[in-house]
Amino acid sequence: MRLFVPALSLALLSAAGGLAPAQAQAVATCTNFRETMLREIFELKPEFIRPLVVSRTEGSIATDTFDLVTGQRIDGVLKCAGEKFVSFEAKIALPADARLLGLFEKVQQSVLVAALRWTPSHALNKVRALSTEASENLRGSEERGDVAISGRVEEHAGNGTDLGVMWTRTDHSFVIITGQ
């Protein structure tokens, strides 16, 4: 017996998230990532600058590092191997008011849009889900009386890419790392 799935059913299943998500797309190049981030979070007056890096490491893969500096208390570090995107970490110091936390959410959303070419709505949903889980994990860590109180979440986003969120009492961090 053969089962036929009409094209409309297949389209509805795909739209509902039942098939491969847009996450399987290739990761952006470093230049594309920087340009998209500058465009997406223009209200923060962002700049990517090259910091002075002193290292004695020999034989490792050379990476270019760019610091993201904004007009707010939100900063980031971008690492690239040539034009290959390697990682990006955004961080905000606490305490922060609701407006600043909203701007940090926008930065996280923009990272997913820039790096993984996700739609803004898909990226925002992912950021909010990860933040909710990190918040719950932080609360659990505090209730248990852990030595290192934090809320951590890690997720594989497909295509060799991992996402990480870490919340402590003093800061929130958002990290994306690729296997490239």
Is 12 part of any domain? no
For residues 104-122, average pLDDT: 96
Is 82 part of any domain? yes
Half-sphere exposure (Cβ direction) of 30: Cα atoms closer than 13 Å: 21
> Residue 179 — very low, low, confident or very high, per pLDDT cuts 50/70/90?
confident
Is 20 part of any domain? no
The tally of domains found in the chain comes to 1
Is 76 part of any domain? yes
Asked if 107 and 96 touch (Cβ cutoff 8 Å), the reply is no
Is 10 part of any domain? no
Q: Per the structure block, which two tokens stand in for 163?
A: 């996402």
Higher pLDDT, 19 or 157: 157
C-alpha to C-alpha distance for 111 and 38, rounded to whole angstroms: 10
**Across 117-158, where does the E strand assignment appear?**
151-158
Residue 151's CB: how many other CB atoms inside 10 A? 21
For residues 65-86, average pLDDT: 94
* Best CA proximity match to 78, nearest among 53, 102, 60: 53
pLDDT digits (tens, 9 = 90+) for 2-42: 333 333 333 333 333 333 344 445 789 999 999 999 999 99
Of all residues in the chain, the percent with pLDDT exceeding 90 is 69
> Residue 60 — very low, low, confident or very high, per pLDDT cuts 50/70/90?
low
Is 68 part of any domain? yes
* Best CA proximity match to 45, nearest among 14, 87, 73: 73
Is 5 part of any domain? no
Is 1 part of any domain? no
- Domain extent at residue 127: 27-178
Residue 81 has pLDDT above 90, yes or no: yes
Entry pTM = 0.81
